[in-house]
Amino acid sequence: MSSEDEPVAAGATTTTCENCDDLGWVCENHLDRPWDGPRACTCGGAGAPCPVCNVTGEGDVPRMPEGFQAEVDKDGWRH
């Protein structure tokens, strides 16, 4: 716990999506608002993959936000 103590913001390229706050998901109704986090959209809309950083091709599964409870994994959303 002592040797891997390197600073994070020391020139390292941090990819931060300003569209979704790097969450990867935005509000379905407002595609420029994060779906979760401090700036989360409060309209109550469903989540949608961020069109900026979480674009997926057909058949691909968009990455889920951390801690996301995948309710889509139960019945729907399967091919």
- Chain positions contacting Zn ion, by CB under 5 A: 17, 19-20, 27, 29-30, 41, 43, 45, 50, 52-53
Q: Cβ of residue 64: shortest distance to Zn ion, in angstroms?
A: 13
**Of 36 and 41, which has the nearer Cβ to Zn ion?**
41
**Of 41 and 78, which has the nearer Cβ to Zn ion?**
41
Rounded Cα distance between 50 and 42, Å, is 16
CA distances from 22 to 58, 66, 76 (A): 22, 11, 26
**Of 4 and 24, which has the nearer Cβ to Zn ion?**
24
Burial class (CB in 10 A: 0-12, 13-18, 19+), 46: exposed
Q: Cβ of residue 2: shortest distance to Zn ion, in angstroms?
A: 34
